[in-house]
Amino acid sequence: MKIEKDRVGHTNLFTSYDKIVDHYSLVALQFNNKLVLESIRKIIPDSVNVNSIPELIEWFQTFMTWNQEPELTELQRFNYVPTLLKTRTGRCGEWAILFTALLNAVNFVARIVVDFEDHVWTEVWMIRRWVHVDCTLEAPRNFDHPFIYKTDFKHKIIQILAFSPFGIEEVTEKYRPPSMIEAHNLGASKA
């Protein structure tokens, strides 16, 4: 599949599972595009330690601007990395797309994670596992706190998928706290 400049962008709210899967499958192809990754490397200041994810998050939060538009339906949404490098604005989706690409650009292996309850973040491969990273949150909650969406934001954790240029993975269970998994399993065993 080829990503055409700004054809992936300008999206509205999604209404179907298939549209979300198709959309983020296309978005993820950028995370393996050498030209896209090179354009990102050029914008990172020399003063930023590219081997430190907390430092990258701290810099990234000053680089990007959170879009304060009151009506989500009126937001112009961009998902093409070069466009995001120019606009430097958005909400969780735009932030996660650009941050995931940034991590891949500085030699981490990262993928984008989509919660069907309307949130998007990043996972990075380290310590032989995928680690939660949310560049929209403040430290320490932004790194390796996968249960935060249930405990702090009260998400139901219904469907969560991770997208990379190499495929899609169902990751819902890793974002459910142990107590939620036990309750789910108990309910299933009674059925």
126, containing H or E segment:
strand 119-126
Backbone angles phi, psi at 179, to 5 degrees: -65, -35
Q: Catalytic residue at 134?
A: yes
Question: By C-alpha distance, which of 136, 163, 126, 138 is closest to 52?
Answer: 126
Q: Catalytic residue at 155?
A: no
SS3 53: helix
Q: Residue count of the chain, please give it.
A: 191
Q: Which one from 115, 119, 132, 155 is the annotated catalytic residue?
A: 119
Q: Catalytic residue at 115?
A: no
Q: Which one from 6, 23, 118, 134 is the annotated catalytic residue?
A: 134
Burial label for 164, CB within 10 Å (0-12, 13-18, 19+), is buried
Is there a cis peptide before residue 140, judged by omega within 30 degrees of 0? Answer: yes
Q: Which one from 10, 22, 46, 92 is the annotated catalytic residue?
A: 92
Please identify every residue annotated as catalytic: 92, 119, 134
